[in-house]
Amino acid sequence: MKVLALVPSFFGPTGDAVNERQLLIALARRVEKCYVVTFVGFKQIFTKRRMELNIVLLENMIRIPFPLPQIHVLIICFAAIIVSCFVSLIGLMLNMLKKIDLIYIRGSFLSIGFLTFRSLAQKTIVKIPAIIEDEITNEGIIKSLIKKIASFTDRLVLAKAGRVAVNGRPLYYELARRRYFIHKYEPLEIPPGIDLNLVEKIKNKVSKEISLDSLNRLKEHYTVGFLGLIEWWQGVDALVKSIAKLKNISLDKPVKLLLVGDGLERRKIENLCRELKVNYEITGFVEHDKALEYLSMFDVLVLPRHRISTTESIIPIKVIEAWALGIPVIVTKHQAFLENRIRNYEDVVYCEPEPDSIAEAILTILRNKELRERLRANGTKLAKQFDYNKIAERLLKTFDDK
């Protein structure tokens, strides 16, 4: 089998890039050839970030990068449509030569060209990861325009794609409600996953490299951590305020906030930490391996994300990685967790995305050793359900059975 994949991000440390990279590597292990078409930012070409492009991939993976300045979401949307139309012509030729058996596309904008040709559409799986307008905060002409374009492209996918994929069913149901259209087949669920082999390597590396001095420094405080994009919907501001509340509560040692990541809200969060006199550190973007090393040193991972269509439908990769590393997790009670029967005080501790609730959840974990051990043990078992190898096998099998 030969696979052609179009994904907006493949290189770099962002969650989307890590997810798609690991999924496509897992797919490539099971097929003869895997062509990967993706965007590459100018910073990844002309700055130190070009090291992100030096990823060692499988020999049967062929990368086809398209340079794209990360200027504005509207420009990226139109660029995706143009690239889709161009690459679909290449796909059409490959299809005529019987060089392509399956087409995987992330995002409806990138699918337009392929859905124009019936022979390609039948082989195409389009993953719709989000209802895009829900992630845009500023009201106005730009948001309205993007919403109209997304509505058209999403409906096109629901009407013509061979299969529609989503992170979870809650998003699909909301998508069908908003776009007034359903696909003829049940949606494929392609959630974020995990490379268990990579996690084991990180565990071994950290256990070997951590020095006695480093261990003593870690023991000087509790490390409450966040990992991901520092964006409005992540609830990082509520997390900072919850840490400030803990300063007035008796614990056997102080709490430090470690934010692993970067984003548009970074300056705002830094100012808030200084204003509230919170002991904090922000790493900025780091490579995936390094992010896992930081995560392995958390006492607890906290993700107090706001409830929007995207967050309700997905168990984030960082939660799965925390489970695999044995790190207790505090998270908003999103629909995706309930659908997967993730239990409160057994698998995670749920909170509301507001300071008092987050602070109470953090205290509950830090003060209860038995709870921490239970969360670690159950998390390790849960992570195995999200192995990317299993997800890739399920994806290929489902398409074959159609």
> Which pLDDT value is given to residue 400?
61
Average pLDDT of 388-402?
Answer: 77
Asked if residue 274 has pLDDT above 70, the reply is: yes
Highest mean pLDDT among 90-99, 156-165, 385-394: 156-165
CA–CA separation, 328 vs 223, rounded Å? 12
Higher pLDDT, 396 or 281: 281
Let me know if the fold of 2-193+387-401 is the same as that of 196-386: yes
Asked if residue 107 has pLDDT above 80, the reply is: yes
In a 3-state reduction of DSSP, which class is residue 247? coil
| pLDDT digit string, tens, across residues 34-51 | 999 999 887 777 777 778
Average pLDDT of 388-392?
Answer: 89
What's the predicted TM-score (pTM) here? 0.85
| pLDDT digit string, tens, across residues 216-241 | 555 688 999 999 999 999 999 999 99
Average pLDDT of 161-184?
Answer: 91
CA–CA separation, 265 vs 231, rounded Å? 5
Supply angle C-alpha 335, 340, 344, rounded to 5.
75
> Which pLDDT value is given to residue 379?
94
What are the residue ranges spanned by the domains of the chain?
2-193+387-401, 196-386
Spatial neighbors of 298 by CB under 8 A, at least 6 apart, are 223, 224, 225, 258, 322, 327
Average pLDDT of 262-288?
Answer: 94
CA–CA separation, 389 vs 24, rounded Å? 10
Asked if residue 402 has pLDDT above 60, the reply is: no
CATH code for residues 2-193+387-401: 3.40.50.2000
Is the CB of residue 188 less than 8 Å from the CB of residue 104?
no
Asked if residue 136 has pLDDT above 80, the reply is: no
| pLDDT digit string, tens, across residues 49-95 | 778 788 888 999 999 998 887 666 777 888 889 999 999 998 898 88
CA–CA separation, 296 vs 287, rounded Å? 14
Is the CB of residue 346 less than 8 Å from the CB of residue 331?
no
Mean residue pLDDT of the chain comes to: 89
Is the CB of residue 251 less than 8 Å from the CB of residue 366?
yes
| pLDDT digit string, tens, across residues 178-195 | 999 999 999 998 988 888
Burial of 368 (0-12, 13-18, 19+ CB in 10 A): middle
CATH class of the domain at 196-386: alpha beta
- pLDDT band, very low/low/confident/very high, at 208 (cuts 50, 70, 90): low
> Which pLDDT value is given to residue 231?
92
CA–CA separation, 272 vs 174, rounded Å? 34
Higher pLDDT, 389 or 301: 301
> Which pLDDT value is given to residue 217?
56
Higher pLDDT, 67 or 244: 244
Give the lowest-confidence range in 102-111, 134-143, 237-246, 273-282.
Answer: 134-143
CA-to-CA dists, residue 120 to 154, 264, 326, 401, angstroms: 17, 38, 43, 17
Amino acid at 59: E
CA–CA separation, 34 vs 219, rounded Å? 46
Quickly tell me which residue has 């001095």 as its tokens.
213
Asked if residue 248 has pLDDT above 90, the reply is: no
Is the CB of residue 232 less than 8 Å from the CB of residue 352?
no
Supply angle C-alpha 344, 346, 347, rounded to 5.
85
> Which pLDDT value is given to residue 257?
96
Is the CB of residue 316 less than 8 Å from the CB of residue 15?
yes
> Which pLDDT value is given to residue 211?
54
CA–CA separation, 126 vs 154, rounded Å? 10
Angle, nearest 10°, between helix axes 141-160 and 169-179?
110
Amino acid at 7: V
Q: Residue 257's closest CA among 225, 285, 230, 231? A: 225
> Which pLDDT value is given to residue 115?
96
Asked if residue 100 has pLDDT above 70, the reply is: yes
Higher pLDDT, 324 or 198: 324
| pLDDT digit string, tens, across residues 348-358 | 999 999 999 99
Q: Residue 244's closest CA among 252, 254, 253, 234? A: 254
Asked if residue 168 has pLDDT above 60, the reply is: yes
Asked if residue 139 has pLDDT above 70, the reply is: no
> Which pLDDT value is given to residue 197?
86
> Which pLDDT value is given to residue 179?
93
